[in-house]
Amino acid sequence: MKKRIPVLVALFLSLSLLVSLAGCGQPAQSTAQNKIVLGVPTALGTVEGKDSLNSVNMAVDEINAAGGVEVGGKKYQLSVVSIDTREAEAGIPVNDALTAVDKLISQNKPNAIVVGAFRSEVLLASMDLVAKYKIPYITSIGMAPDYEKKIGENYDKYKYFFRMGLNSTYLVDYLNKTTGYIGKNFNFNKVYFMYQDVAWAKGTAAGVAAWAKSNGWTIVGQDSYPTGASDFSSSLAKAKAGGAQLIVPIFDMPQAGVLVKQAKSMQVPALLEGFISPVSAGNAWTTFNGEIDGFVNFVYEAGPIPLKNIPKSAAYNDAYAKKYGEDARVKLAGHGPGPAYDSVYVLVDAIKRANSLDSGNIVSALEKTDYDGVIGHIKFSKNHQVIYGENAKETASGLAFQWRAGKRVVVFPADAAESQIQLPQQ
Amino acid sequence: MVANLLIYGLVNSVVLMLTALGFSLTFGLSGVANFAHGGLYLLAGFLAWIFINSFGLPAALGMILAVIVVGILGALIYRFILMPVRGIVLSEVISTFAVGVAILEFFRWKGFVTYDFSLPVLVQGSVKISGVSIDYQRLLIIAIGLALALLLWFFTHHTRIGLALRGMSQDEYTALSVGIESDWAGMLSLALGAGLAGVAAVVILPLGIISINMGYDVLLIALAVTVLGGLESTTGLVVGSFFVGYAMVITSTYLGPQWGEVVYLGAIVLVLAVKPSGLFGKSKELEERV
């Protein structure tokens, strides 16, 4: 018997693994009466997924504390059911993530889905699955523009889908604007692109490169890195040798934080401007021992940093710190939380205006959304993408900040900027 | 560019060697393919982070403690997980893999997914060598990696314990007949291998941040390098690391980084097809000739 115990332990561990791989990490709750159930199927093991779920829960608690939602003379409380799709983890196929989404919908019968897929590949694949159930789906992390293209091509089937977060097209537009500013103000015209080998990053880099080429920039080089790569010396050496004045990195993998540190240690005399998720949070200065000075990083949607031109962003930050602690607020992800929070309010606003829980009526009301949120002013385009721009009074807004002496100084857009982009001291 | 390639190729090679050293040593000394290697690597990183940031220990002390704890855990894995299935290769692989995955997924479950887990570098600053800037931490990695490889070669070839362990790996029954206890040898080899995974973690991880998926990558790298060089050969490990390390850097520089990762996976396939025992492996050499 004694000898069997370790074997049993090993068997138990293997079974635990199988159970967790099946997407059963978070038990779903049952739907109660007088409840409006919001489903959150996303990659909860990621910073973006976790912070987005926190933001959804915060909005739900606020609405419930204020008396809930009145529909047809009846009061409803909101409730949240979540499931971890694990889609951001290595080796998890799209199909497994879809199984988790299907499980959440069939078991909990949510009235709507918020946050949604993490990876664009899963987002696009889940459209057909969710369309069967005809429930509103407001995504805030997946960025592929094909999402709204599909909605436009087959409106009747996909009219339930909306996107609150930034898409790649808007990100390219933002990067073009800041790159243009850098070129004009510092007389730069040599750029090097480094990006992750995933659909959204490749698309973004290609978009900015096309713009740069047609605006007089010389592209010194372009390299794509597989997810998980942690040595960037070959590209940095080529950028240095080629005289690149600007390096545009586009990554959402944890290992990419090495890039900025390595550029410093290799004394590459170029400004870095782009998106590296691990260098976005407020505590990144400490994490990277201050070796990120001068890096210009994007926050895709307003929310994680209080902005002077969006009053609700300050209130959101205060509430988040109160509920989850200042430490958690400082670490808020640069993509996802703001739109996730606003998704709940926008959905409730639509339900109230529709005075109905019927999906078709909610969709019609959502299309007419005209709401001031944490991410700026929210209106959906014809194909259900929230319109992003630079004036938060008229559109939703992203932002860029520059790391300077341990602080995130907002440098874009002009409405929110505390300062202009500066060249780091070499 | 050539100087850059030589220097960063050396760094990459030593990182690969350090990463695989523990895996190779354990297999070389006890014949156990420890698939918990990636989990133990990451455990050492997170433990060091906890010792330094939660307990306030000095960085060097936190790192040493993490290595010791992981080394002890290696011995315990042998005692409680491997001993009952010893000799059944498939069971050894499955049970160690399960332990490794359990460690990695435990940290994911406990929320170690944020971007704030990083270890401090032991030496700040950088220096120029032949016009190429390189930081002291990477130089430290080179120094520690090469010193460990030498030390292990000496240990396994010129000390009584090392020779006993090698004897056990070559022929367990003959070793038993001269008084070498096989379970003692197995426990020691797992402890040493796990400790080396820990050393690799605390010197390599300060270059970036600790993320859970690294554990899986580390296991793949360890497998690639040791299969290439020969599973039980220290010389093979060194040659395999340098071969893969330089091939990755040259490919990344001239073909693009996306091809760099293909190199080590391609190397496994090629070597297994042409010389299954690896470049310097002896264990299956006779069978191959037959």
Residue B287: predicted pLDDT = 52
Give dist(CA A309, CA B107) in Å, integer: 39
Residue B269: predicted pLDDT = 84
Least confident of A126-130, A175-179, A253-257: A253-257
- Chain A contact set for B217 (CB, 8 A): 228
Quickly list H helices, A163-256. 168-186, 199-214, 233-241
Domains of chain A, residue spans: 28-166+310-386, 169-299+397-412
The type of residue at A268 is: V
Q: Which residue has the higher pLDDT, B184 or A322?
A: A322
Task: Give the C-alpha distances (Å, rounded to integers) separating A124 from A143, A144, A201, A345, A358.
Answer: 10, 8, 16, 24, 24
Asked if the model's pLDDT at residue A63 lies above 90, the reply is yes
How many interface pairs between A and B have CB atoms less than 8 angstroms apart? Answer: 161
Residue B112: predicted pLDDT = 87
Q: For domain A28-166+310-386, is the CATH number 2.115.10.20?
A: no
Nearest CA in chain A to B15: A231
Report which DSSP code applies to A136.
-
Question: Which of A12, A195, A231, A235 is best to mutate for the B interface (most B CBs within 10 A)?
Answer: A231
Nearest in space to A62 (alpha carbons), one of A330, A342, A310? A342
The type of residue at A313 is: S
pLDDT tens sequence across A270-282? 999 999 988 998 9
The type of residue at B129 is: I
The type of residue at B92 is: E
Q: For domain A169-299+397-412, is the CATH number 3.40.50.2300?
A: yes
Give dist(CA B59, CA B202) in Å, integer: 10
Nearest in space to A344 (alpha carbons), one of A319, A321, A327? A319
pLDDT range class, residue B123, cuts 50, 70, 90? confident
Nearest CA in chain B to A258: B208
Task: Give the C-alpha distances (Å, rounded to integers) separating B124 from A177, A268, A407, B39.
Answer: 36, 18, 22, 28
Q: Rg for chain A (alpha carbons), in Å?
A: 22
Nearest in space to B252 (alpha carbons), one of A299, A400, A226, A128? A226
Q: Do A289 and B102 touch (CB under 8 A)?
A: no
Give dist(CA A173, CA A171) in Å, integer: 5
Nearest in space to B180 (alpha carbons), one of B194, B195, B169, B191? B169
Element (H, E) at A63: helix A47-65
- Chain B contact set for A288 (CB, 8 A): 118, 209
- Chain B contact set for A17 (CB, 8 A): 98, 101-102, 105
Q: How far is A243 from chain B (nearest CA, A)?
A: 13
Residue B285: predicted pLDDT = 55
Residue showing tokens 């040595």: A231
Task: Annotate chain B with DSSP letters as a single string.
Answer: -HHHHHHHHHHHHHHHHHHHHHHHHHHHHH----TTHHHHHHHHHHHHHHHHHTS---HHHHHHHHHHHHHHHHHHHIIIIIGGGTT-HHHHHHHHHHHHHHHHHHHHHTTTTSS---PPPSS--EEEETTEEEEHHHHHHHHHHHHHHHHHHHHHHHSHHHHHHHHHHH-HHHHHHTT--HHHHHHHHHHHHHHHHHHHHHHHGGGS---THHHHHHHHHHHHHHHHH-TT-HHHHHHHHHHHHHHHHHHHHHT-HHHHHHHHHHHHHHHHHH-TT-SS--TTHHHHH-
Q: How far is B288 from chain A (nearest CA, A)?
A: 34
Residue A164: predicted pLDDT = 98
- In total, how many domains does chain B have? 1
CB nearest B116 (choices: A223, A230, A283): A283
Give dist(CA A156, CA B19) in Å, integer: 54
Residue A15: predicted pLDDT = 43
Give dist(CA A63, CA A69) in Å, integer: 7
- Chain A contact set for B135 (CB, 8 A): 265
Strand-pair partners of A273:
A296
Asked if the model's pLDDT at residue A11 lies above 70, the reply is no
Question: Which of B209, B250, B261, B262 is best to mutate for the A interface (most A CBs within 10 A)?
Answer: B209
* Upper half-sphere CA count for residue B154 (Cβ side, 13 Å): 6
Structure tokens at A175: 């990067």
pLDDT range class, residue B87, cuts 50, 70, 90? confident
Q: How far is B248 from chain A (nearest CA, A)?
A: 10
CB B270 within 8 A of CB B240: no
The sheet with strand A371-373 has its strands ordered as A371-373, A376-378, A396-397, A388-389
CB nearest B213 (choices: A4, A89, A283): A89
β-pairing verdict for B126-129 and A407-412: unpaired
CB A138 within 8 A of CB A113: yes
CB nearest B135 (choices: A16, A230, A265): A265
Asked if the model's pLDDT at residue B62 lies above 90, the reply is yes
Residue B124: predicted pLDDT = 83
Asked if the model's pLDDT at residue A5 lies above 80, the reply is no
pLDDT range class, residue A16, cuts 50, 70, 90? very low
Q: Which domain holds residue B215?
A: 2-121+131-289
pLDDT range class, residue A31, cuts 50, 70, 90? very low
CB nearest A10 (choices: B95, B118, B211): B95
- Chain B contact set for A50 (CB, 8 A): 111, 113
pLDDT range class, residue B257, cuts 50, 70, 90? confident
Least confident of A362-376, A408-422, B31-45, B232-246: B232-246
Task: Give the C-alpha distances (Å, rounded to integers) separating A282 from A69, B116, B128.
Answer: 35, 10, 32
Q: Which residue has the higher pLDDT, B140 or B253?
A: B140
CB A348 within 8 A of CB A80: no
Average pLDDT over residues A399-422: 95
Q: Do B98 and A288 touch (CB under 8 A)?
A: no
Residue A133: predicted pLDDT = 95
- Chain B contact set for A234 (CB, 8 A): 5, 8, 249, 252-253, 257, 260
Structure tokens at B260: 């760099």
Q: Do B211 and A254 touch (CB under 8 A)?
A: yes
Structure tokens at A146: 């094909």
Report the CATH number at residue B178: 1.10.3470
- Chain A contact set for B82 (CB, 8 A): 6
Average pLDDT over residues B229-241: 80
Question: Which of A53, A233, A255, A266 is best to mutate for the B interface (most B CBs within 10 A)?
Answer: A233
pLDDT range class, residue A426, cuts 50, 70, 90? low
Kindly state whether residue B273 falls inside one of the protein's structural domains: yes
Task: Annotate A119-130 with DSSP letters as a single string.
Answer: SHHHHHHHHHHH
Residue-averaged pLDDT of chain A: 90
Q: Give the 3-state secondary structure percentages of chain A, helix then strand then coil, rounded to 5.
A: 45, 20, 35
CB nearest A267 (choices: B12, B85, B133): B133
Backbone φ, ψ for residue A74 (5° rounding): -115, 140
Whether omega for the bond prior to residue A311 falls within 30 degrees of 0, making it cis, is no
Question: Which of A265, A277, A291 is best to mutate for the B interface (most B CBs within 10 A)?
Answer: A265
- Chain B contact set for A284 (CB, 8 A): 115-116
pLDDT range class, residue A223, cuts 50, 70, 90? very high
Kindly state whether residue B262 falls inside one of the protein's structural domains: yes
Handedness of CA A412, A413, A418, A420 (dihedral sign): positive
Residue B114: predicted pLDDT = 81
Q: How does A58-92 read in b/e, with b if 16+ C-beta sit within 10 Å?
A: bbbeebeeeebbebeeeebebbbbbbbbbbbbeeb
Residue A1: predicted pLDDT = 43
CB nearest A257 (choices: B82, B124, B208): B208
Nearest in space to A247 (alpha carbons), one of A166, A204, A188? A188
pLDDT tens sequence across A40-50? 999 998 899 99
Give dist(CA A250, CA A225) in Å, integer: 10
Asked if the model's pLDDT at residue A14 lies above 80, the reply is no
Asked if the model's pLDDT at residue A23 lies above 70, the reply is no
Q: What percent of chain B has pLDDT over 70?
A: 96
Kindly state whether residue B48 falls inside one of the protein's structural domains: yes
pLDDT tens sequence across A316-332? 999 999 999 999 999 99
pLDDT range class, residue B226, cuts 50, 70, 90? confident
Average pLDDT over residues A115-120: 93
Task: Give the C-alpha distances (Å, rounded to integers) separating B242 from A29, A36, A225, B149, B268.
Answer: 53, 60, 21, 13, 14
Sorted by sequence, the CB contacts under 8 Å of residue A80 that are 6+ apart come out as A37, A38, A39, A40, A53, A56, A57, A60
pLDDT tens sequence across B139-157? 999 999 999 999 988 888 8
β-pairing verdict for A190-196 and A161-163: unpaired
